[in-house]
Amino acid sequence: CEKAEEVAEQVEVEQDVTEVAFPGAEARKPGVIRAGLVPPPAAPLLGAAGGGGSGTASSSNARPRAAALAGAAPGGAADGEEEKWRRQWRSMAQHGLPAFVAEQPEVFHRRARRGVPTEHRWQAWKAAMRVEERTKPGVYQEYLQVENQWTRLIEIDVPRTFPDITLFDKEQQFSLLRVLNAFANLDPQVGYCQGMNFVAGLLLFVAQNGDFRQSPRFEKEEEAFWMLVCLMSDGRLSGFYRRHFPLLRRYLWAFDHLLAEHLPDLQAHFFEENVQHAVYLHQWFLTLFINCLPMPMVLVFWDAIICGGKGLEVVLPITVSLLQVLQNVLLSLSFEEIVRFFKTMRAGEPNTDDAQIGRLVVAKCGAIRLPARITEKLRLPLPDDDDMCMSPCPSGGCEEFVFSPQRRGGDAVGHKADPRAGGPTSSLGSAFADWAAPEGVVGSYLRNLSEMGRDLPQGVRSWWEENRGNYLQRVGFGQERGEDLRQ
């Protein structure tokens, strides 16, 4: 039965994924792109069952197009298939999910990659991360009300979390504040960085079974705290938020290699249109898609990240797979339209099954294998903050990937290689060295970066402010020259 389910899933994935996922993609082309799409008040982004989106099903479309609950059955299945899917998870839950994970991990991982029903999601996540084994009574209570150097920043960011969800009220926000503040006290090496508020907020949401309407119970708040601890330590997510963003920078480097291998045409188009990582990728990684995509799709991605057996590294195949789905649309857009397109993705489309898109993306990403050289780099121990060199890879010599500097209209920077030839495009040092003229490419690029700075996460902006002087001096500009370029 399990093998039959795998075959059936693969057959469905081989269908025209782009049309299934974005039947209204034409509406986003020049002149018709809709900015600031928000669900109507009657259909909030997140509901009691963990769903999202709005709209009614299209009578001309054979597949259901009403916005799906995050726990909808895989593949838009009929009632019988949905019941079978839920019956599988009920059986696993009755057996005990921690015991099932220990006894049949591959079956658990395979089923989780197809999505976890809302009513079982939190227990499945806790079992996969072995949260109960890490929980230490009294620790959360000890840390939650102790102020630290990040407390004020957390207080500022918490109200900005889930701004479209009216049910995320003051009480819910205070619960999130305490979780983040306690974690910053527990792990001051990480402390707090923007993006963590969305991660912790999603954990609180799932801990409450996707229902912000009820007052948060303290035990669920504590569970969310320990889940965050497990993700940061065992899941290595802390490397995304530590000083200098060591693991984030490795993932951006790895993404450039995967993009060159699997989507050379899209990489070339981004090169021509000067689409920097800051336009979309920084937010995708720092919030693990939470603040960038419809919540039902995000939850399916998180099922794969937490329960799929491959951990955080699956973020890379998911990202490439998502861009494969979007490629035909993105290739037809200019820089400004691409920026708007990525901004509107969070709201989704009114008659689109976002959870189904997520499942298709996760299933499709199974064909994307990470080369051994990439996984080796990703899994190397992270350097100490004080010893952190600015090379993205511990072994040095890796190509630049954080900003991928280039000009629009095909004007290449310095000796940049054609992205169609494969591999990342240039080293940051050589790029700056080629931009020596004050009115040359560096002035244009820094102005462009300054304009996009409004959309960058604060942590990335702070990192750039802190280290750009070091970069300029490394390539021989000196302090005075570096100050001129900074201005």
155-199 pLDDT tens trace: 999 999 998 888 899 999 999 999 999 999 999 999 999 999 999
Tracing tokens 């792990």 back to the chain, one arrives at: 187
> How far is 295 from 309, CA to CA, in rounded Å?
22
- Residue scoring higher pLDDT (226 or 24): 226
C-alpha distances (whole Å) from 405 to each of 337, 436, 443, 447, 458 are: 19, 14, 12, 12, 20
pLDDT band at 447 (very low <50, low <70, confident <90, very high): very low
Phi, psi of 103 (to 5 degrees): -85, -40
> How far is 340 from 183, CA to CA, in rounded Å?
34
Q: Chain centroid to CA 6: how far?
A: 26
Whether pLDDT at 56 is above 70: no
Phi, psi of 51 (to 5 degrees): -95, -170
Take residue 105 and report the two structure tokens written for it: 């991990």
- How many CB atoms are located within 10 Å of the residue 328 CB? 14
- b or e along 148-178 (b: 16 or more beta carbons within 10 Å of the residue's beta carbon)? bebbebbeebbeebbeebebbeeebbebbbb
Q: What is the pLDDT of residues 320-363, one digit of tens each?
A: 999 999 999 999 999 999 999 999 998 877 778 899 899 999 99
Report helix, strand or coil for 289. coil
> How far is 456 from 51, CA to CA, in rounded Å?
28
The answer to which of 62-66, 275-279, 444-448 has the lowest mean pLDDT is 62-66
Q: What is the pLDDT of residues 373-397, one digit of tens each?
A: 999 999 999 988 655 544 444 334 4
> How far is 395 from 250, CA to CA, in rounded Å?
11
